Amino acid sequence: MNDKAAGDAQAAICISICIANYNGERFLDDCLASIYAQNFARPIEILIHDDASTDGSLDVLRLRHPKVFVIVSKENVGYCCSNNRLVERARGEYVLLLNNDAALRQGALQALLDEIPRTTDPFVLTLPQYDWHTGRLVDYGVRLDIFHTPVANRDAACGRLAYVQGACMFMRKDAWDRLGGFPEWMVSNVEDTYLCSLARLRGGTVGVARASGYDHRQGSSFGGNRIEGVKLYTTYRRRYLSERNRASLILVCTPTVIAWLLYGLQLAWLLIEGVAMTLLKRDAKVWRGIYWKAVRDSLRIVSTLRHTRRQVQAGRKIGFWSYMRIFDPVPHKLRLLFRHGLPHFG
């Protein structure tokens, strides 16, 4: 294929749908069927990165979905690296990151395109999220509290979103390239908050399409982050990565030198919370595997965080107060504690 033909082929693809898969054999058929069912007139492509799955994922893709482009990794590299590899290979004008445990509702792709005229560049969009099992609304995007804990937004008219979940994240491919994609030191968790924070810092829009939606088996692909009955369930690894990456995000993205003060306060608070949670749960692994580990490992990569911060702040177009206006002053963990009690780790 000559250069002109290659360029024409790329221009012809409207949306590249990128799916990071690890041991998602039981989800892939539902996820891909929802894409095939879209009544969408413009060309799309589907790319899947298999992150060294040990189940039958590759057999499912080879036998039942031969037209899907599959990147096979010989080693487990994590969610961030998987998506970076996918978008690097994507040929569409837009990219849609979609979890393997999610499924698009009818009209989803068109709804995302229809939302673009209401955005500023670089935009990051999502669809309304619904619980797979109950069909109930989960969120119209996400807000954050002062400790960067996610707060589900259920107000369709809310104009103060902090981020949209990576389970369904839509943006221009060239914007992804300009923002630099997901930081691979994060491995997984909070990478969606990071990318949306960068978009906000550069004057872009973080928003939700006004129609359609997607259904999501929350926590199925990575474990944890789900409510069963009235109890909140998570895993040691998920909580560790969330706490480490949220603290690191504060240092990287908060405008002005006050970021260093807020970073120090966040680490101090994690140590206090860790002691309390360990005593209440009577589980030393809570301290060793989550809180102490999160603080220690964030400090270990502080030179990387400092370098990333310089890059991020160099392109900033908004000030401290504009950036902070989306944060909820009430700690969301207190709400979760009163509503669900102590989390269950597994």
Local confidence pLDDT in tens for the 346 residues of the chain: 344 444 445 458 999 999 999 999 999 999 999 999 999 999 999 999 999 999 999 999 999 999 999 999 999 999 999 999 999 999 999 999 999 999 999 999 999 999 999 999 999 999 999 999 999 999 999 999 888 899 999 998 888 899 999 999 999 999 999 999 999 999 999 999 999 999 999 999 999 999 999 999 986 555 555 555 556 678 899 999 999 999 999 999 999 999 999 999 999 999 999 999 999 999 999 999 999 999 999 999 999 999 999 999 999 999 999 999 989 888 877 777 777 778 877 7
Q: Packing angle between helix 292-300 and helix 302-314, nearest 10 degrees?
A: 70
pLDDT recorded at residue 266: 96
Look up the pTM and report it: 0.91
E strands, the chain, in order? 15-21, 44-51, 69-73, 94-98, 102-104, 124-126, 129-131, 137-139, 142-145, 150-152, 168-172, 206-208, 214-216, 226-228, 231-234, 327-328, 344-345
Pairing of strands 142-145, 137-139: unpaired
* 149 CB-near residues (< 8 Å, 6+ apart): 246, 331, 332, 333
* pLDDT of 2: 41
Return the pLDDT at 158.
87
Which of 79, 76, 84 has its CA nearest to residue 241? 79
The end-to-end CA distance of the chain, in Å, is: 51
On whether the CB atoms of residues 216 and 269 are closer than 8 A, the answer is no
Token reading at 151? 């707060």
Cα–Cα–Cα angle for 196, 26, 134, rounded to 5 degrees: 65
164: Cβ contacts below 8 Å, ≥ 6 apart: 124, 125, 126, 141, 142, 192, 196, 206, 207, 208
Q: Contact, 8 vs 89, CB < 8 A?
A: no
pLDDT for 124: 98
Closest Cα to residue 21, out of 56, 63, 64? 56
